[in-house]
Amino acid sequence: MAAVIKYLMVSVLLGAVSASSAHADDMIQAVSFAITGRDGSTVDVVDKKNCVFRMGARTYFLNNIVTNSITFQPFTRQMGNYSRVGIHGKSKVMEEVYQGVAQPITDYELMVESPDHARIIRAWQYIYAHGCKGITSPF
């Protein structure tokens, strides 16, 4: 009987870890898609608790973004379809390292290449519904 209870407890714990891991993977995929517009791109998690992610020379501080001021605009160029995603904050929302110098940015417009504008919006909604907090403006 004790062995059965121990087996059940281990199964429940592994299930919780697996669900938590799946949630973390979904979050990383959502951040990656929100930034790049592509599946399969990966971001590096710098600080999961504070929602800090890095892709290449750019680090994104998602908890610093004023979430009710994010803008989305579909945009077409000869090279393809894009979404302009405007992110703004009172402190840095992105930091880009150029020639070894970190440059903090509080207002930035991402040009996300993807024909699926609605999915980009859903990715940003997912990010703030499943872990990142961001900040809100009173107006």
pLDDT in tens, 5-28: 444 333 433 343 334 456 668 999
Total domains present in the chain:
1
pLDDT at 27: 95
Residue-wise pLDDT tens digits, 114-128: 999 999 999 999 999
Q: What's the pTM value of the predicted model, to 2 decimals?
A: 0.81
Q: Mean pLDDT throughout 28-42? A: 93
What residue numbers bound the domain in which 26 lies? 2-129
Would 105 be classed as within a structural domain?
A: yes
- Residue 22: the pLDDT is 61
Name the 3-class secondary structure at 135: strand
In a domain, 16, yes or no: yes
- Region 34-42: what's the mean pLDDT? 91
Averaged over 73-86, what is the pLDDT?
A: 92
Closest C-alpha among 129, 130, 116, 137 to residue 70: 137
Strands (E), the chain: 44-47, 52-55, 58-61, 71-77, 80-88, 94-98, 101-105, 107-113
Contact 84, 73 (CB under 8 A): yes
Residue 136 contacts residue 128 (beta carbons within 8 Å)? no
DSSP, collapsed to helix, strand or coil, labels residue 37 as coil
Q: Quickly count: other Cβ atoms within 10 Å of residue 121's Cβ.
A: 15
For the segment 127-138, what is each residue's pLDDT rounded down to a tens digit? 999 999 999 998
Q: Is residue 139 part of a domain?
A: no
Residue 35 pLDDT class (50, 70, 90 cuts): very high
Percentages helix, strand, coil for the chain, rounded to the nearest 5?
A: 40, 35, 25
Judge whether 23 lies within some domain. yes
Q: Does residue 135 lie within any of the structural domains?
A: no
What is the sign, positive or negative, of the torsion defined by CA atoms of 57, 63, 66, 71?
A: positive
Mean predicted confidence (pLDDT) in 65-83: 94
Within a domain: 136: no
